[in-house]
Amino acid sequence: MPRGASVERRILYFLLALLLAGAILTGRFAWLQLVQGQQLKAKAAVQLRDTKALQSPRGTIFDRNGRELAISSLSKSLYANPQELDKDAGVLAEMLSPILGMKAADIKERLRADARFIWIKRTLDKEQAEKVSRLIKEQQLKGFGFIEESKRYYPNDTLAAHVLGFVGTDDAGLDGVEMVLDKTIKGELSQQIVETDSYGVPIYKSIFTFLPRKEGKSVLLTIDNTIQFIVEQSLDRVMARTKARSATAIVINPRTGEILAMANRPAYNPNRFFDYGPAEWKNRAVSIIYEPGSTFKAIVAAAALQEGVVRPEERFQDNGYVEVSGRRIKNWDGGSYGNIAFVDIIKNSINTGFVQVGMRLGASRLNDYARAFGFGKATDVELPGEEEGLLFETANMRASDLATMSIGQSIAVTPLQLLSAVAALANDGVLLKPHIIKEIRNPDGSVVSSVATQPVRQVVSAETARIMTGMLEKVVTEGGGKKAAVKGYRFAGKTGTAEKLRSGGGGYEAGKYIASFVGYGPVDDVQVAALVIIDDPSGVYYGGEVAAPVFSEIMTQVMRYLNIKPLPGFEPIAAPRPQDKPAAETVGAASPPPPGKVVVPNVLGKTIREAADSLNKLGLAINPAGTGIAVKQSIPANTVVDRGAEVTVWFEGR
């Protein structure tokens, strides 16, 4: 065969092979494109996309007047792919550290992770995000990106922190209302689709596709932002003044059970909750128990009146002490008052009188009333960590237990329990369930549910409550609660001074006391009730000296804020301020005082009882501080003052 024909044949075979290969490729392409096209497209989408679940913004928390207490906003979170970094991890860490406020070593450790996606920092603030974006652009850094997430923000910082609680980085409520209503407030999960390469690495600057985000429901609290602010300012001042270990105050509407303010010191900022610890996070208003001391006497007196075992005008014999089962119980001032009316036993908080009243009631009835007033059981307020308190089991009570319980010792209550119980006296004897949630609302503002006033039970009759209110008013106008007086308004209340229980039980802390005052008013039309507790103040520790002035300070401002008009011409006894100096002149002991004036006697070295007798005979009031014998008096001896003036006398142990 000629050589030329052989070459032509080979070319023909080659061309036929090419045509066959082309036909096969064309057929395969047509098969993939036309027959399997949609299936393969879907498969590729699955392989080249990563779906991330993102939390929608939480609902807003408002105060009762619609002012924002907690809000959510979208914030950028910084992530990185350590496999695509084009600079040393240590160098990058040093660049990012001052911007993010993180240790360079921590950032370096994350950037060296054997992973393709790691978080560097979640929910950056706006300034941080802008600085990091600028750094990435200027340094042309590879391997970094942002994803938007929801961030919780508390515009008032520490205000109502213990009520609100806080939210963790995964948008989970970790304390307070945020925790209790987490499922309600929390928005729904949304899906974010991220384009990736064949290795699953995100393609930066790709278009993110979001499913619509559905915001969580909003909450309207019973808290009043302004009253809360008033209370917290007052606690700040008393903490600075007394150097106390802690302080708590609650304000409630006794007609509805709505909590208008709840505050504790020490406080914390929920925007930076991680800078604090459990001691600061703790809501002492519901999560501590303490001996109520003399504030509990209001409950004992109400039970005794209701049961008819005592009459307001009935007189008792006080010898300064009473012995029960070998245990001697003395009055707080160490003195005796002799023959004294029941109303004065309440006014002067006389222990011996209350022991006698408690004995008349008996263990069973006293315990029954304590439980009826809400002690020994959680109030079920919408806050986490609420304690139940401690009461005796009636069957196990000894006579000495009954005696100590009658003066507010050997039992333990929460602050909210005590305030709720006393508020029942302000509410015609009806105990209400306290609540801090007013309404739940949809994102469009429509109301999902609202919390109504919830009566628990009629504890005492309206008449008994009225009589008790009159007696408790005398505590403020004539007794140990004078410094709780609110000028222009009639208030009722009770002081309390209790030894502090050791943490974990086992007796008392030596020299440690809890001073308190609980009260309500105006008594002619009660609008508010409040409790103030000062834990371990330095110096003077009596409730009438430490807590009562804080109550007065809070209520004075609250009356103005609520626009409650003062009674015309009504002037309750004004508590002297430390900076006040009496308008008086010192004269010789032999000089006769002008009409309407008296000469202050020298009471140094006398007991409280002796000093009180000396001053009262001249028409002067005594404001005792401490116990023992008199070592100092606010108005020097031989000073001429108006009849009715008050003399503060400091006493120290013998």
Report, as residue numbers or ranges, the catalytic residues.
294
> How far is 161 from 179, CA to CA, in rounded Å?
13
Instruction: Return the bridge partners of 519, or none.
Output: 493, 530
Asked if 193 and 209 count as a contact pair (C-beta separation under 8 A), the reply is yes
Asked if 609 and 634 count as a contact pair (C-beta separation under 8 A), the reply is no
Give the β-pairing of 508-521 and 528-535. Answer: antiparallel
Residue 95: other Cβ atoms inside 10 A: 18
> How far is 302 from 305, CA to CA, in rounded Å?
5
E strand intervals along 89-163: 118-121, 144-153
Smallest Cα–Cα separation from 173: which of 327, 59, 319, 83? 59
Length of the chain counted residue by residue: 654
Q: Token digits for 231?
A: 């209370």
> How far is 191 from 107, CA to CA, in rounded Å?
28
Contacts of 266 (CB under 8 A, 6+ apart): 246, 279, 280
The DSSP code for 567 is P
DSSP 3-state assignment of 57? coil
> How far is 552 from 537, CA to CA, in rounded Å?
18
The residue whose two tokens read 């008393």 is 238
DSSP 3-state assignment of 261? strand
Q: Which amino acid makes up residue 415?
A: P
SS3 content of the chain, % helix, strand, coil (to 5): 35, 25, 40
DSSP 3-state assignment of 246? strand
Smallest Cα–Cα separation from 153: which of 63, 75, 79? 75
> How far is 199 from 529, CA to CA, in rounded Å?
66
DSSP 362-420: -HHHHHHHHHHTTTTS----SSSS----B---GGG--HHHHHHHHTT-S-BB-HHHHHH
Asked if 630 and 353 count as a contact pair (C-beta separation under 8 A), the reply is no
Per-residue CA distances from 523 to 141, 445, 489 (Å) = 70, 37, 8
